Amino acid sequence: MAIPAKALKKWAIRATGSAVALGLIFWFLPKDAILEGFTRLSWPLFLSVLVAFLLCHVATATKWWLLMDRAILWPLALRAHFAGLAANLCLPGAAGGDAVRAAVAHVSLRDGPKVAAAAVGDRMIDLVGLAVLTLSGLVMLGGQGGNRALAYAVTGVVFALAVAGLFLFPAIARFVWGRWPGLPAKGLALRVADAFAALGKKPGLLLFTLILSAAIQSVLIYLSVKLAEPVGVHVPLAAWFFAW
């Protein structure tokens, strides 16, 4: 199947932006020190980290697949997730990858609300997991006073937003479109609300995926440490958790 010209154009823009970002990084940082650092990485270490990185994304794809109630085949979920990862060029940025992943799943499932609910739920769970890791890092660093209070506050806000999205949105959507039925996208909104409500009725699944998300991020932090130490970046593990 041919790739649409619009998709190729978007990919080219992202690739160009990534290349420019990497170029600026190498421009401002000492190139000799960076290249010397790369030479300190052994092939066994690099390959083992790469394999572990890919396995983490297999676990991430499985987490999303579970939140989608296993509505598509697991191999297709893997393909969709890695297509999204490729769309991001393995660099930071979630929206593009999420859109590609959802599009691949929707082609097979033809249930946009279920795909949307799983995608948003997956992202909310990841945010809560990251907030917990950040708070854990601050505690390990021995943060006190205002810093710790701020971390607790941010974690609480993230958790509250996740709970509101999963548990309150269905009721709010039904009230709004029930009170004003003439509003646009009523059918879509109510189907999305039903999908969120179905997800909210599975607290065991939500807890499991939250623990899995935190575990995956913890492994990725560990892999970053394993790559950083040979090149001379020695930072306390707690600082990695806090900054992640």
- Amino acid identity, residue 178? G
Q: pLDDT value at position 89?
A: 61
Tokens of 223: 């892999």
Cα gap 58→119, rounded to integer Å? 16
Per-residue pLDDT of the chain (244 residues; tens, 9 = 90+): 445 566 566 667 766 777 787 777 777 777 777 777 778 888 999 999 999 999 999 999 999 999 999 999 999 999 999 988 887 765 444 456 788 888 888 888 888 888 888 888 898 899 889 888 888 888 887 755 456 777 778 778 888 888 777 788 888 888 998 888 888 888 878 888 888 888 888 989 999 999 999 999 999 999 999 998 888 788 888 888 888 8
Tokens of 1: 């199947």
Question: How many residues are present in the chain?
Answer: 244
Q: Are 153 and 138 in contact (CB under 8 A)?
A: no
Residue 42 Cα distances to 34, 35, 36, 90, 221, angstroms:
15, 13, 12, 21, 19
Cα gap 33→201, rounded to integer Å? 53
Cα gap 110→11, rounded to integer Å? 25
Measured N-to-C along each axis, helices 112-141 and 203-228 cross at an angle, to the nearest 10 degrees, of 50
Q: Are 56 and 72 in contact (CB under 8 A)?
A: no
Q: pLDDT value at position 10?
A: 66
- Looking up tokens 């393995």 gives 90
Q: Are 74 and 65 in contact (CB under 8 A)?
A: yes
Cα gap 38→26, rounded to integer Å? 13
Q: Are 88 and 227 in contact (CB under 8 A)?
A: no
What phi, psi does 37 have (nearest 5°)?
Answer: -65, -40
Contacts 24+ apart (CB under 8 A), 163-172: 165/120, 165/121, 165/124, 165/196, 166/121, 166/124, 166/196, 166/199, 166/200, 166/206, 167/200, 169/193, 169/196, 170/194, 170/196, 170/197, 170/200
Q: pLDDT value at position 92?
A: 46
Strands, DSSP E only, in the chain? none
Among candidate residues 5, 209, 46, 226, the one with its CA nearest the CA of residue 124: 209
Residue 35 Cα distances to 20, 31, 179, 193, angstroms:
18, 6, 63, 51
